Each structure stands twice: as structure tokens, then as C-alpha cells.
Structure 1
């Protein structure tokens, strides 16, 4: 994006700086900032023409989503746009083990972190309640597993890493962590056998001047 639009400035924000590339690997109109956006986006009001956020469905509570959206509106210029790209979390064509893991994860995330794993479906309403307009959402299928080639393998690896990071989940399932890791192997097998997929939802919304 920065190479395609050299007259624009791009700022990447993440709570973990280890995701940032080395400074010699990106052009001069890009910079990265380590920040926890749950404490607010560290920029003045009406700074940006466009704000993009992706795959944050498991990072925030519903209240934090609302507060973050309000802060995004604050830093957006009038007639600026926000775009979100999130998975709908729950898989389709899933096997018994996949269903067990996903349903346990939804319960555990709500109890442990207050996170609603179905938050993606609520984002249009959250956008609207914070004053955004021209809201449009598009859903596309997101294949999970090597049955769909390189892209499916990539999405599977991402989902498996996410599940593996839920170190509190085995307790809710009544099994050991070692047994849980074995279940993740079955999850991979089921995905390939059943041609598992989920959905990605891309939402666009505008900050409109209200006179």
C-alpha cells in the first residue's frame, strides 16, 4: 500500500512490536508504533483519512469494541472511512472434535476474558451506535485446511495457533493440556476430511458530518 500510494503516510499500531518488520524493510512513508489501543489511540482528533483493523475479534470485550470504535471515530477526519476484517469465528462443515473445541473456547473466553466469540455479527450495530454511517458488510467463505491448498493451510495454521494459545481451555474441557494438543491434531484431520470453512466479514463505515 505504501509503495502504491507514496504521497500517503501509513502508521501501523500493535501491542507487540515483535510483529513489526525491520526498519530497512519498509519505505519511508511507513512507521510502526507500539501501543495498547484499549487505553486510547495515541493521536489527536481528526488525524486520519482511513483506519483499518483486522482479526481482532478475540482481543476485545464488547465494551472495549464500543470504546475503540468511539476512539476511531475521534481520530478520523470527517468523510473518513474505517474498514474492519474479522472472521465469524465458528466453523461450518466441522467435525465432532472441532465443535467441542470451538464451543468450549466460546464459553471459556467469555468467562476468562469477557470476550464474545460472535462479536463479528455485532460490529455493524456497534459502528452505527457510535455515529458511523454508510455501513456495508460483505461476507466471503474462508477455507480451513490443506484441502484448499496453500491458502487453506495458512488459515489452518493461524486457527490452530489461536486455539493452542488458549492455555486455560483444557480445564474447561476436563482434559490435560497434552490431551488438548492431541485434539488439535484431530481438528486438523477433521478439517481436511470435511472441507471445513468459516467466513470473513469485511465492513466499511464512514464518519459523516452532521450539521
Structure 2
């Protein structure tokens, strides 16, 4: 995860994307700083997912401005983010998980709960016909296949973040892993879940 306090200098414009198929080309961009390698008004539909612990609040405004730039008037932008708060936690686990989220927020200046504000962000950026949905995803075997898959996904994220989170929380790696395993057991017993928020809006025509 990039530290917002250690941003690289803005690069000169992008290298050409790598084409894998006739209709698939991959570009790697730092959107808030380098923008997107596309002309204005290129796409009818633009989607961005899972950036809550990557962008700072000021990054969000710059990023949305860039997404709007490449969207055609009348086209739509859709955002999907996980709210990293886990519902139905018991008090002890809730306190620990909130400490983890506060550590991430304070150190990286990101907003783990930005998912709750997607509608507001789109409206502030000038989008119209803004709407959205919330989907709750179970955590663990109590949620059957999707709950097991979601737990595996969260496990992978927690493991990937271990080197810096264990340092931020003043834990060695073994203690951090044991604490998470105990948390997983409690979350499954409590039938915990995450909320995923999806919001979309239309880019107005100039006369609007």
C-alpha cells in the first residue's frame, strides 16, 4: 500500500498500455497524480472498485474529476467499496478491529469507511441521478459458500498487511496472527458480516 506521505513525483505522461486480447488493454496509472491515458469523453460507462484504503480524501476528489473527464456526457460512473467495519462483533473483538482501522486511517490518511459516503462524493463531483445499493456479505461458514470465500479473501488481506500492521500495533508477527485467528472464531460464532456499498451517477450534458 503506498504511503500518501511518500508520493513519487508526478511522472510525465503514460507509457502505452499492454494489450492482451483484441478488446483488453491494461494500463497502470496513479490516477490522482497522473490521470488516465484517455481523451476527454471517451467512455459511456466507467467503474472503480475497492480503493477505500488507497486514496486519501483529497485523492478522491482528484480521482473522481478524472473519471468524469473520460466519461461521455450522459454516461455513468459506478463506484463499489467495502465498509471495513465488521458488524455483529463482540465487544472485545470490536475494540481490537476498530484499533486496527484507526491505525490504518491515521498512518495512511485514508478513510476505511468511505464506502458510506459514495453517494455524497458523486453528488459533490457534479454527477446527477445518483443512486446506490448496499449488500451485506456474511463472514465465515455460517454464510455458506459466499461466507467462506469472503473469509478467505479477508484472511489474505490481513496476512498481506501483517508486516506493517503488526508494527503499527506493536505486535510481533506470531501474536498478530494469533489475535486474528481468535477474531475469526468469534466473528463466525457471532454471524458477523461486512457491508458493500455500490453507488452510481450520470455525467450531465453541458446544457444541464
Please, which of 196, 200, 203 is the counterpart of residue 204 of structure 1? 200
Aligned residue for 1:117, secondary structure, equals: coil
The runs of at least 4 consecutive aligned structure 1 residues that moved more than 6 Å come to: none
Counterpart position of 2:8? none
Alignment-derived partner of residue 3 in structure 1? none
Equivalent-residue separation in structure 1 for 2:134 and 2:63 (angstroms): 22
CA contact (8 A) 1:95 1:187 kept: no
| Ranges in structure 1 where 5+ consecutive residues have no aligned partner | 1-16
Q: With structure 2 as the length reference, what TM-score do the two structures score? A: 0.83
Query: What is the correspondence of 1:56-135 to structure 2 with a 5 Å cutoff?
Result: 56-96=51-91, 98-135=93-130
User: In structure 2, what is the Cα distance between the partners aligned to 1:69 and 1:55?
Assistant: 14
**Deviation digits for residues 23-68 of structure 1 (CA, Å, limit 9, x no counterpart):** 4xxx532222222223211211111111111111111111111110
Calculate the aligned-residue CA RMSD, in Å: 2.1
C-alpha displacement of 1:174: 3.5
| SS of match in other structure, 1:179 | helix
TM-score with structure 1 length normalisation? Answer: 0.82
| 1:95-129 deviation line (CA, Å, top 9, x unaligned) | 34542442122211122110111111222111111
Q: CA deviation at 1:162?
A: 2.0
Q: Tell me what 1:46 maps to.
A: 41
